[in-house]
Each structure stands twice: as structure tokens, then as C-alpha cells.
Amino acid sequence: MSQQISESHLNHLEEEAIFILREVAASFERPALLFSGGKDSCVVLRLAEKAFKNRVAGNEFSGRLPFPLLHVDTGHNFPEVIAFRDQRVAEMGERLVVGHLEDSMARGTVRLSHPLESRNGHQTVTLLEAIEEHRFDCLIGGARRDEEKARAKERIFSHRDSFGQWQPKEQRPELWNLFNTRIRPGEHFRAFPISNWTELDVWLYIARENIPLPSLYYAHERSVIRRKGLLVPLTEVTPPEAGELVETATVRFRTVGDMTCTCPVESSALNASDIVAETLTVTVSERGATRMDDRTSEASMERRKKEGYF
């Protein structure tokens, strides 16, 4: 794919994202930034540092963000990602709130139909419980409109009703940069500073800014199972089925979500610049290459979002 790579375009996207982040901090009383350790949330975190912190000697950032970080842990996250998350939070001196899906299971608000069921869809319950418990009124997320068709329809400031639900037909028109963030008690917003970014833009920015990421994003050897055109990583929650062959492949993850539904792609890309070059020639979308759960129905993302999924 021949594409324009433009430094000024990247600067413009950065300006827009920082503007949105400051808008959240100025408009809401109790915002939080969703941080999973994934590449999009790492980019949003860097943008937040630029929006709210000062550069000091050695080009490091000083100070603390005006909101905590929030992660919903399904208990099925890749251990490398959780370790990375905790290390980054400690290095930056930020506050991290973790909502554990297993706590929701203990409370009985999440019930699995079988033990190895994907917990990805269930995390909505834990997310909404965390919002209620901490009375968050705006969650900043790293979703992009190029990821998926239902995301393409969502506003930058996306209103959620008192059940945490997205109402696609009731979206507030977004005019100029005059965001309507007015809210009633019990309702909240989701704000997406990198809505207008593409996967390529994200990798260009990671390369430009030297943003640290979990090692899973870069080429490594991993035991995988080839299943329905996907490379399913071998983990304790994704065992091989009868007759399936486990093999070793050189892979990287384009997206890191729940272990039960995230697949790597074959790649030898060792750093962000390699991935930029790879992304320029890619022929399969990020979700198409990597997600098991979105394949069940064309509307699966939309349905989950209506229930409050992020």
C-alpha cells in the first residue's frame, strides 16, 4: 500500500489528541484513563504526559497526571503485558486502579457458562462496576475509528446512559471542536483522543516517540496452533483440540487483548520502524488478523458496545 507518511500529519493528530485530553481534564470531575499496556493505550498515555507534564533534564516527564489509570483485568491477560503495565505505572509514579473480573465472578455478577469461556465480553460488567464504585464520569480510551465499522460511527466524546450503554441512534452531533460534555448524575462519557488515527499512524508515533511497549509486539518465537486461518497462541486457557498440531513460529502481536481471543501474526519485525514498513504492505485488517471473537457476527462489536463495552 503506498501511503503518504507526513510528519505534519502526525503533528496535527498529536495536537488534536492533546486538545481532547485537556478537554476531559477541564470538563469532568472524576475522569480516568484506560490503560491495559496495549499499544494504543501506551500512545494515549504518552499523549497525556505531553498534555499535563513538564519535560525536565534528560527529556523525562515530571509531575503526575490529573487522573488515575484504570485497567480491567480479565485474569486471562498475557503475563508479559501485566508485568509491563505494573512496571510502567511504577516508573511514572501514576495511580492505577484495577478492576478484576474474578471479583465480579465472586460477587456473582459475572457467570461463566464453562471455565474456559472467553472472558472478553464479560469484562463490560467489571468495567461498569469499577465506574460505579469510583464514580468515574469520563473514561479516556485508545479506540480508533479505523479498527472496526461500529467504531467508525462513534463520536470522539461518546455519551453513555446511566446503564453505561451506548445509544448509536441518540449520539450527539459533534460540531467543530465544540464538544457537548454536559452530563447528568449517573451517566458518563467515553473520550477517544486517537479516534482519527490509523494503525499506521500509531506505529509511526511509537517509532518517533520511542514509546516502550510489551515485548509481545515484536518478533519472538512462540508455540502456536493453526486454527481457521489464525495462529492461536498455546496457553493454559487455549489448549490444542484433538488432532491439532502445536508448532513453533516467529510471530508478533498486532493487538494484545484477552489470551482467549487474541492471535499473533507471523513476522520478523524487531522494532517499531520494522513494523511501520510492515504495516505499509499489510493486506489483512488488525482485527481480521488477530481477533477470534469479532468473527462470530458482523455486528458483534456493536452489540457489545451497546451493552457498555469499551
Tell me which residues touch another protein (CB under 8 A). Answer: 1-9, 12, 14-15, 18-19, 22-23, 25-26, 49-55, 61, 63, 145-146, 149-150, 152-153, 168-169, 171-178, 180, 182-184, 195-196, 198, 204, 207-208, 273, 276-277, 280, 282-285, 287-289, 298-299, 302-303
31-34 vs 246-252, strand pairing mode: unpaired
Query: What cell does 67 get?
Result: 487522573
Q: How far is CA 93 from the centre of its chain?
A: 21
Cα gap 272→82, rounded to integer Å:
21
Closest approach, Cβ 69 to another protein, in A, equals: 18
- Rank residues 76 and 305 by Cβ distance to another protein and give the closer one: 305
Taken in order 117, 118, 122, 126, the sign of the CA dihedral is: positive
- Rank residues 129 and 302 by Cβ distance to another protein and give the closer one: 302
Q: Quick one: residue 181, left, alpha or beta (phi over 0 = left, psi -120 to 50 = alpha)?
A: alpha
- Rank residues 153 and 227 by Cβ distance to another protein and give the closer one: 153
31-34 vs 138-140, strand pairing mode: parallel
Closest approach, Cβ 193 to another protein, in A, equals: 13
Is 31:136 a contact under the CB 8 Å cutoff? yes
- In three-state secondary structure terms, 154 is coil
Closest approach, Cβ 200 to another protein, in A, equals: 8
138-140 vs 188-191, strand pairing mode: parallel
Closest approach, Cβ 207 to another protein, in A, equals: 6
- Rank residues 110 and 150 by Cβ distance to another protein and give the closer one: 150
Tell me the CB-side half-sphere exposure of residue 88, using CA atoms within 13 A.
23
- In three-state secondary structure terms, 180 is coil
Closest approach, Cβ 296 to another protein, in A, equals: 13
- Rank residues 109 and 300 by Cβ distance to another protein and give the closer one: 300
- Rank residues 83 and 277 by Cβ distance to another protein and give the closer one: 277
- Rank residues 246 and 270 by Cβ distance to another protein and give the closer one: 270
Closest approach, Cβ 79 to another protein, in A, equals: 29
- Cα-based distances in Å from 64 to 89, 95, 150, 188: 11, 9, 34, 23
